[in-house]
A and B are shown apart, each in its own frame.
Chain A
Amino acid sequence: MSTTLPSRTLRDAFPANWTVRALWLGLVLYVIYAASILQITWARFVIGLDQGGKFLGRMWPPNVQAQKVQLITEGMLESLQIAVLATAFGVLLALPLGLIAARNLTPPWASWTARALIALLRTFHPVIVAILFVKAVGFGALAGVLALVVASMGFVGKLFAEAIEEISMKQVEAVRATGAGFLSVLIMGVLPQVMARFVGFIIYQLDSNLRNSTMVGIVGGGGIGATLFTAYQRFDYDVVLTILLVIIAIIMLFEVVSTRIRKVFQ
């Protein structure tokens, strides 16, 4: 008793873990190394802060001239159109793709082909896809729509396939046992189980397309991004600020709307 008690009271409640400490040290060393590779120095940062002050000074107040407001409205409406169309067509194409990619409904050769296609669609950033489409179909909103259709197909297709793989097969088997064909099995056995989640995916993708549609314009894909990039290159930083505020406001508004829509479908 007297021998065990002291060792108990002396035991540290939180002993030092040297492996974890070494890992943290390694992280710090990496940060220093990476910063030196990227030529990130304190002096540059300080100069930048000075520049940043001037930059913010030129941004404020936001430019609300009637002519600029009209330009921004046109650009923003085009961005909305790009987002809506890209979501509509992307989701429409993602439906069959996700269905084929679900491993519990289709033979392996079909599902693996669809999975490879989904992975390919997801690899490239929408902006890179937009560059290729600008070359293929020329400058303008169509290139932006096509780029975001590719992104939507990849993302929704992947989520849709995962949702279908998680369904209960009991209902599918019950429908099959009645002698129903493949299409009836889909409509009566599979869709009711995934519909609610699918609505969620569509809303999420519309949200993501709305964000990305503000960016494809930088490489010639139409929308507010083009307006923003032009204003930036002309050093009209006050217009840039107006556009940024409009983008943030619209995306926040859409977040409110999307929670409402989600509630309706629950």
Chain B
Amino acid sequence: MSTAVSTGITREWQRFTLGERLGRYAVYVVSAIAIIWSLRTIEVIPEFLYDAPAQTYDLFERMWPFDWRFWPTVLSGLIETLHTATLGTLMALVLAAPVALLAARNITRSVALNQLANLILVSSRSVNSLIWALLFVAIFGPGALAGTLAIAFRSIGFVGKLLGEAIEEAQKGPIEALTAAGAPPMAILLKGYWPQVEPSFWSVALFRWDINVRESAVLGLVGAGGIGVALDTATSNLYWDQAGLVLATIFTVVVLTEIVTSRIRSKII
């Protein structure tokens, strides 16, 4: 730069190279085309829109006051939902641990196995919890068993990915010390990796449990048990005063779990 100033040549400085700018413009153009294409081709029935405000008003008017006679059904559904979320999370932790070990490149030194583990993790995350629930309802019949498995299978991807990354970030020192002492592989895992991974393991578990409480609340819509069954019954019967009670319950529980998890997180981690 000093040479440029001394020789009197003026250079125009730009923050990004030509390639970078072209790449950015390409992304902008593609996004604009995608948005315009979606706006022009998406199917919207205008007749439905005219009475939307009236329909919304009608919805809230019908919800209030809540129908408290429905409360016992809601409560038992709620208990089922909480157990589904917790049990599903625990099952996911158990199932995700081996996949995470396979995905961690410092433990499994085989690219093919790493890729296989990644395929499992991506598939688990791509299929939505409601769709997992549909599949398990077809296999195990309606009920909380299908819901628990849906929550577990959906969470494997999330837990496995984060856990695999935590394992990859583990420091080599303790591992090398154990290897030098002649420790068997299982001891290296338990005494070398586990203490390093444990904090992030429980933090991931807590985070996922929080998400799973929300998710398991809707599984009942496809017959997989929990408070969603009560919601489905209420909305199918157009008993909006019962649906309102269910929604208020879900709202309260979600807010409470968020408070509880943030308390635990700030205390332990």
Binds B, one of A40-48, A107-115, A173-181, A183-191: A40-48
Residue of A nearest to B90 (CB): A31
User: Given A44, A48, A138, A211, which contacts B45 in the complex, CB threshold below 8 Å?
Assistant: A138
Binds B, one of A64-72, A122-130, A159-167: A122-130
Q: A137-B55, A264-B20 are in contact. Are A218 and B87 (CB under 8 A)?
A: no
| Total number of A residues with any Cβ neighbor in B under 8 Å | 64
Output the least CB separation between A206 and chain B (Å): 9
User: Given B49, B80, B130, B139, which contacts A38 in the complex, CB threshold below 8 Å?
Assistant: B80
The reply to whether B79 and A37 contact each other, CB–CB distance below 8 Å, is yes
Classify the secondary structure of A's interface with B.
Answer: helix
Output the least CB separation between B154 and chain A (Å): 10
9 smallest beta-carbon distances between A and B, as pairs: A138-B48, A38-B144, A264-B23, A48-B140, A81-B38, A251-B126, A215-B128, A52-B139, A34-B83
The reply to whether B145 and A38 contact each other, CB–CB distance below 8 Å, is yes
> With the chains together, A141 CA to B48 CA distance in Å?
12
Other CB < 8 Å A-B pairs besides A38-B225, A215-B130, A232-B134, 14 of them? A34-B86, A37-B80, A38-B84, A39-B145, A40-B145, A128-B250, A131-B231, A139-B48, A140-B43, A142-B44, A142-B48, A211-B128, A264-B26, A265-B27
Residues on A with C-beta less than 8 A from B255 are 119, 123
8 A Cβ contacts from A190-209 to B = none
> With the chains together, A34 CA to B145 CA distance in Å?
11
Interface flags, A5-36, vs B, CB<8A=1, else 0: 00000000010000000000001001100110
Residue of A nearest to B147 (CB): A38
15 contacting pairs across A/B (C-beta < 8 A): A14-B191, A34-B86, A38-B145, A38-B148, A44-B140, A52-B139, A55-B138, A125-B218, A128-B218, A140-B45, A142-B42, A212-B128, A240-B134, A247-B127, A247-B131
Residues of A whose CB lies within 8 Å of any CB of B are: 14, 27, 30-31, 34-35, 37-40, 44-45, 47-48, 51-52, 55, 77-78, 80-82, 84-85, 88, 119, 123-125, 127-128, 131-132, 135-142, 145, 211-212, 214-215, 218-219, 222, 225, 228-229, 232, 237, 240, 244, 247-248, 251-252, 255, 261, 264-265
The verdict on B6 contacting chain A, using a C-beta distance below 8 Å, is: no
> With the chains together, A229 CA to B139 CA distance in Å?
16
Q: Which of A47, A128, A138 is most buried by chain B, counting CB atoms within 10 A of its CB?
A: A128
User: Given A48, A137, A218, which contacts B130 in the complex, CB threshold below 8 Å?
Assistant: A218
Residue of B nearest to A14 (CB): B191
Residue of A nearest to B123 (CB): A248
The reply to whether A37 and B59 contact each other, CB–CB distance below 8 Å, is no
Residue of B nearest to A35 (CB): B87
The reply to whether A128 and B231 contact each other, CB–CB distance below 8 Å, is yes
> With the chains together, A8 CA to B240 CA distance in Å?
71
Residue of A nearest to B129 (CB): A215
> With the chains together, A47 CA to B139 CA distance in Å?
9
Output the least CB separation between A82 and chain B (Å): 8
The reply to whether A125 and B148 contact each other, CB–CB distance below 8 Å, is no
The verdict on B34 contacting chain A, using a C-beta distance below 8 Å, is: yes
> With the chains together, A77 CA to B42 CA distance in Å?
9
The reply to whether A78 and B42 contact each other, CB–CB distance below 8 Å, is yes
The reply to whether B23 and A38 contact each other, CB–CB distance below 8 Å, is no
> With the chains together, A222 CA to B35 CA distance in Å?
18
Residue of B nearest to A213 (CB): B128
